[in-house]
Amino acid sequence: MSILTSLGAARAALDGGELDAAGLFALARERARKLDDGDRPIRAFLSLSKNGPSAPIKAGSAGDGPLAGVPLAIKDNICTSELPTTCGSRILEGYVSPYAATAVRRLEAAGARVLGKTNCDEFAMGSSTENSAYGPTRNPLDRDRVPGGSSGGSTAAVASGTVPVALGSSTGGSVRQPAAFCGIVGVKPTYGRVSRYGLVAFASSLDQIGILSRSARDAAVVLECISGFDAYDSTSQDRPPPRAAALDDVDLAGAVIGVPTEYMGQGLDDRIATLIEETLAAASAAGATVKEVSLPHTAYAIPCYYVVAPAEASSNLARYDGVRYGFRASASDIRDMYEKTRGAGFGAEVKRRIMLGTYALSAGYYEAYYLRAQHVRHAIADDFLRVFADGVDVIFAPTTPTPAFLLGEKFEDPYAMYLSDVYTVSANLVGIPSMSIPIGEVDGLPVGGQLMAPHWEEERMLGLAARLERQIDFELPEVSP
């Protein structure tokens, strides 16, 4: 197994003198290049850093932690000050931010090294990473299939063994869904846990920076590092970060796991339902109590999300007009420039959502659509609060209704694509922490199970996930270049 598949393996190689930080960085960079060779490139990265660590890490310095000297990947809608931040869009082609996101700065302060920026659906709008203006990312486990989205590049970078951890973003499931498709762990924290400063806005009340890794413990290490209040983000909260060391204090024995009936019905692949039942049986054998719960407004989550998210997107993306930064089309006057710049710079999915959102916010329709969707959002939140108040520690459900689908299979059917996130959007609407862990395979393709916890309960959620990982003992196949 590659030394780039876990933080522990990478640090052991550094501490044991097998490689220095520069050598480890070069190894990761070479692997990224090899995986993009040939006629079926994975295309996890849009840009790679040319320079490794500028100086060796010295014993006794701030570089002694679990992230010191470790290469990692950053989704291309999270700002870095040296590599381009394109959001997978032509309208930001070549744009380099004058500042780095708070989460990136905190990782670099802990000694981590940014290997590169990863491919994503344009402005994070998609569920397959096929909407990128720079071509689709392929699933490392089956290159005829999608890796999920919109954080497909970051997910593929981890699943392929190029980096042990990566940052993605989640607006409606864009960390958990691709994690399930590629057989790794994807974590979406509580809204406000991680600063959004430097995360290019899609839908501000839903967007969050998330983590991709191969284990709950590695995700916990990164989450502890990037959590905390940030004066640059008014939605960030001043709360103690979840501690990776606390995972050892969590046990399945005595835990109460809720299983929502609404997630286990029509539309769910029967084989995934069986894997969910097997996982719950293993948890029960380890001492957990499994109980059926109800989240009655689940059916309204997708329509609610696809009013709220496009409405916020139409407002956030108004800034891309060719005046201040990014692509500018040649035009005869200012109005012509706006139209030609946005027409040529944005892809079809982004245009679709801008039009949907503008319509929902327009005079005469705001109350009928956006305001009503916000009322439904509160009803969905009340469902979760009621279940957690009834003594449930975590909710466990499928992450996706099917395994990874074929490239192009749903590209021309937006509604079918949107339903890929049917089990994940609720956690974003409510703002609770959630994560996906691999629970088995269907026809050789990984399948994920999703844990959802009360606000600010990441330590318990990650600890229970780590215990479930031991019970399931899933091993991701090695990916050959």
Among left, alpha and beta (phi > 0; psi -120 to 50; other), residue 58 is beta
Task: Render the burial of 261-292: b for 16+ CB within 10 Å, e for the rest.
Answer: ebbbeeebbeebeebbeebbebbeeeebbbee
Q: Are strands 165-170 and 71-75 parallel, antiparallel or unpaired?
A: parallel
Q: Are strands 208-213 and 165-170 parallel, antiparallel or unpaired?
A: antiparallel
| Beta bridge mates, 116 | 48, 73
| Contact present, 181 and 221 (Cβ < 8 Å) | no
d(CA 181, CA 178): 5
d(CA 452, CA 392): 10
Q: What is the DSSP letter of 368?
A: I
d(CA 165, CA 159): 9
d(CA 244, CA 241): 9
d(CA 403, CA 448): 9
Query: Phi and psi (nearest 5°) for 329?
Result: -85, 150
Closest CA to 192 of 102, 117, 65, 113: 102
Query: Phi and psi (nearest 5°) for 389?
Result: -70, -20
d(CA 444, CA 463): 28
Which whole-number Å values give the CA distances from 29 to 22, 53, 72, 211, in the listed order? 10, 12, 10, 20
Q: What is the DSSP letter of 406?
A: B
Tokens of 230: 């940030």
What residues act catalytically?
A: 75, 150, 174
Closest CA to 196 of 174, 227, 242: 227
| Contact present, 439 and 275 (Cβ < 8 Å) | yes
d(CA 236, CA 226): 12
